[in-house]
Amino acid sequence: MIGQTLGHYRVIAEVGSGGMGVVYRAHDVRLDRDVALKVICHGALNSKSACERFRKEALLLSKLAHPNIAQVYDFDVQDGVQFLIMEYVNGNTLAQRIASGAVPEETAKVIGIQIASALEHAAEVGIVHRDLKPSNTMVTSQGNVKVLDFGLARLLRSDDKDLTESFVSMGGVVGTLPYMSPEQLRGEPVDFRSDVYSLGAILYEASTGSRPFDSRVSTGLICDILNKTPTPPRLRNRNLSVGFENIIQRCLAKEAIHRYNTASEVRVALESSRGIVEGRSSGKQKSKTISPRLLILVALLLVAIWGCIVVTWRSPKRIPRVNAALANELVVLPVNTNDRNSETLAFDNGLVETLTARLTQLRTIHFRWFRQVKSGREVLRTYSKHASNLVQRWA
């Protein structure tokens, strides 16, 4: 196929292959842009009516316009070769990225949020992906996610009965076994919660580096998906948070009724879990900073010390002679704040003790330390009363 021209698309290179066909990178000679051509496997659309139904589906899928969904442009046939024209995404699949090991939790959450956002948009027009997996999830160098291959999706709210039934005639059970929900394996009708299960399997693998079930035998893998509970993610990666593990486990619930009802709920849960982590980290930073009220108190105490020094060194001619017991008298009140944190209390008491010790070294100053003052109003009343007495005695 490389070097050939299909329609007005010149095939450049093979990108990958899957159960439905081979994907090539091609150049649109009319619009001068690169596209992805998915050549449908021979016999997949074995009749003219099936081909026409698939064309109608491609037309509907082309209406999916979302930054996390690879755009479908057209569907065409040439010389018996059926191919789907899609947006070309330059990047690596999530499967390729996971092959080198698990990704950090925050990265997995960002990827999960974008996949959930794509599924949420598709759900608005009644489309279930049904084959969501790491190999059809592209991640660009900027970290943007593009979900591919919505061509296998089932149309839930279509008025065209033939269009809906075409997927049954094309093979019944559709999907990739390790990421298929239990209801898919049982051949039951699927809805958006089936995609939620697949998203949970992707998050599990991305964050732990292994799939929820590791059996290499298809029959054993089917049995595990239907009957067993996956190993808790934190047993495979102890760096994961409990909240993230709970989200994954809920997505992987055996019964659809126990999962999130929509991809939108998964997105909100992932976004909330990120907010909790960020909130905790900012809270820790806040506890290490000095309270503005403490800075104000320190400033006031420094002003009081400065005032004492000024009074002490003023000329005797400008101050009337009074009894020594009444001269240069300073009131020392306890620091009282609403913050009952142990570190704050220790800081307050330390300031008072230090100030008192320094003042006692000044022989010309008599100080009073009111240890029993507890409230702000009592401080004002006590200080005002004492200051009034001093003024009267000085006069």
Residues with active-site annotation: 131
Closest CA to 183 of 222, 133, 149: 222
- Tokens 């009802």: give the residue: 261
Alpha-carbon distance of 270 to 206, in angstroms, equals 14
32 — phi, psi (to 5°)? 55, 60
- Tokens 């995609």: give the residue: 195
17 SS3 class: strand
Burial status of residue 65 (CB atoms within 10 A of its CB: 0-12, 13-18, 19 or more): exposed
β-strands 9-17, 21-28: how paired? antiparallel
**Which secondary structure element, helix H or strand E, spans residue 27, and what is its range?**
strand 21-28
- Tokens 């842009």: give the residue: 33
Residue 82 tokens read as: 């059926």
102-137 burial, b at 16+ Cβ within 10 Å, e below that, comes to bbebeebbbbbbbbbbbbbbbbeeebbbbbbbbbbb
- Tokens 């290179």: give the residue: 13
- Helices marked H in the chain: 48-61, 94-98, 105-123, 161-169, 182-185, 192-208, 218-227, 233-236, 242-251, 263-288, 292-312, 342-359, 376-394
